Amino acid sequence: MTNHSRALARGTLLSVILRWAIKGIGLVSTIVLARFLTPADYGVMVMATLVIGLVEIFFYTSADNALLRREDPPEALINSAWTLRLIQAVMVASIVALLSPVAAYYFRDERVTPVMLLLCFGIVFSALANIGPLLARKNLEFGLEVRLGISAKLLSFFATLLSAYLLKSYWALVIGIYVGHISGVWLSYVLHPYRPRWDTSHIRELWSFSQWLLLSSIGSFFGKKLDELILGRIGSAKDLGVYNLASELGQTVTVEISAPVNRSLFPVLSSMRNDKPGRLALFFYTLGLINTFTIPAGIGLCMVAAPFVQTILGTTWLEVIPVLEVFALQGSIRFLVSPYYVWFMAVDRTKFLAFMSWMELLFFLIFAAFLHTYGILGLAWARLLTTLITVSIWVVVGRKEGLPARTLAKSLVRPVFAGAVMGATLWLMQSWVATEPAYLQLTLLMASGALVYTLALLLVWLVLGRPEGIEKSLLSRITG
């Protein structure tokens, strides 16, 4: 294993620990909060955060990625990145405050206004966080972010649960967000010695890197959140709460597997500019690694959605089941080629990233125009169809950019085959376990799915002649 591979593996492991710890805490929080809060409570928070996200995206600068790309950024550039982030936060908070009554009119829910006004202060305060943890990640020192992220999430978790128990209202979610902001800022200075200062000398340089990523991010936001913006207008807070939770749960596992790997992949690929063969080999190894876990996670959740919701969320949330099935499948397809985004960013093809984000938006608008009359399930299917089209475009364009489709197929054939076998097995088992309690159904299906997938994956790996991949790496470690 090369030094770059070891750095990627170490960074990925720590990033996975961080994200899974945070998501694990969040999942436990969701399970418990579902007993105290209603779908409408979640819907109010989704409405507020949708508007905040919409405003934030127009001020997206990607200063973090600009620093990660520089081999030895000067202190003035680092401070300018922190300054730009703070300026952005003040502008975002001001606009959000002005838009709060407009949001209440659009969503037809007056509860949104006070929530948005209170969250404005948190936007500015969180921007004061130390930029030191980012410098640690640039140096491939990922442990600090793990400690920072888990600690802040735990404090937010306990504050949210206590508030939900006492208030039984969406205000518990607001309190939890604030505790997360305060603890995150405090810990960022405790855990890293760097002290940022106000500096505007390199803001123009940061902007020159970010302008195409800004366009990409605007398109990406609308492409990913337009369904919720539409639903917020035509539906109720309850509908939006159900849809949002189904979307989050359906993509949580796949996101939390692929995101930390891609997060670690970017600085490693950026440091391999003079090693094109090694860069390409690492890229496809990473892609295969991601899909080895995301494909069974998405297909498996789709197959166990009903007992999962009944066991984990309770009977109040049964409307989530059909929407969750669609989003679980969409999540596994969405991340088939997720490292492609990292590759195009590493080779400075940010214009194409902007193009892809707007193409995704265009396709979603087309599908949503035909399917929105079917309500939340129709919008979920529009999202799935959009994902199928955009993944196909990534593959075609990637081939022209030096990412061979044949190599991609070799990386995907094993997890796709094993995932299909697992999915068929779980589908057949559903009728056999239908009379059992929901918790027992969930346990039996999950255990059977994991076993079938593992055996099918090893079988196809052996048939194909034991190619390079996660299977070979794991067996070599087991055998010493």
CA-based angle 462:464:467, to the nearest 5? 85
The pLDDT of residue 157: 83
- Ranges of H-type helices in 34-142: 39-57, 63-69, 75-107, 112-126, 132-138
C-alpha 121/C-alpha 141 separation (Å) is: 31
Supply the DSSP symbol for 37: S
Tokens standing for residue 82: 């922190």
- Ranges of H-type helices in 168-304: 171-191, 203-234, 237-270, 276-303
C-alpha 236/C-alpha 112 separation (Å) is: 13
C-alpha 393/C-alpha 399 separation (Å) is: 10
CB 368 within 8 A of CB 226: yes
Q: Is 105 exposed, middle or buried (0-12, 13-18, 19+ CB in 10 A)?
A: exposed
C-alpha 26/C-alpha 5 separation (Å) is: 30
The one-digit pLDDT tens for each residue of the chain (480 residues) are 455 555 555 555 666 666 666 666 766 777 777 777 778 888 888 889 888 988 887 776 666 666 666 667 778 878 888 888 888 899 999 999 999 999 999 988 899 999 999 999 989 998 888 887 777 766 666 667 777 777 888 888 888 888 888 888 889 888 988 998 899 889 889 888 889 889 888 777 666 655 556 666 676 677 678 888 888 888 788 888 888 888 888 877 777 777 767 666 766 666 666 677 777 878 788 888 888 888 999 999 999 999 999 988 878 888 899 999 999 999 889 888 888 887 787 777 767 777 887 888 889 889 988 888 888 899 999 999 999 999 999 888 888 878 888 888 888 899 999 999 999 999 999 989 988 999 999 999 999 999 999 999 999 988 888 877 677 666 666 665
Closest CA to 456 of 277, 292, 250: 292
Tell me, rounded to whole angstroms, the distance of Cα 130 from its chain centroid.
23
Tell me, rounded to whole angstroms, the distance of Cα 252 from its chain centroid.
7
Residues 6+ apart with CB under 8 A from 312: 31, 34
CB 243 within 8 A of CB 227: yes
> What are the C-alpha distances in Å from 419 to residues 67, 254, 394?
39, 14, 22
C-alpha 13/C-alpha 7 separation (Å) is: 10
Closest CA to 206 of 15, 61, 373: 61
Tokens standing for residue 88: 């952005």
Q: Give the 3-state secondary structure of residue 199.
A: coil
Tokens standing for residue 423: 């999915």
Tokens standing for residue 301: 């959740």
Tokens standing for residue 240: 């939006």
Give the chain's end-to-end CA distance (angstroms, integer): 14
Tally helices (H) and strands (E) across the chain.
19, 0
Supply the DSSP symbol for 143: H
Amino acid letter, 115: V
The pLDDT of residue 132: 77
> What are the C-alpha distances in Å from 94 to residues 46, 49, 204?
19, 15, 23
166 CB-side CA count, 13 A: 10
The pLDDT of residue 141: 63
- Number of Cβ within a 10 Å radius of residue 434: 10
The pLDDT of residue 1: 46
Domains of the chain, residue spans: 1-201, 209-407
Q: Give the 3-state secondary structure of residue 271.
A: coil
CB 126 within 8 A of CB 181: yes
Tokens standing for residue 374: 């079917």
Tokens standing for residue 176: 């939890």
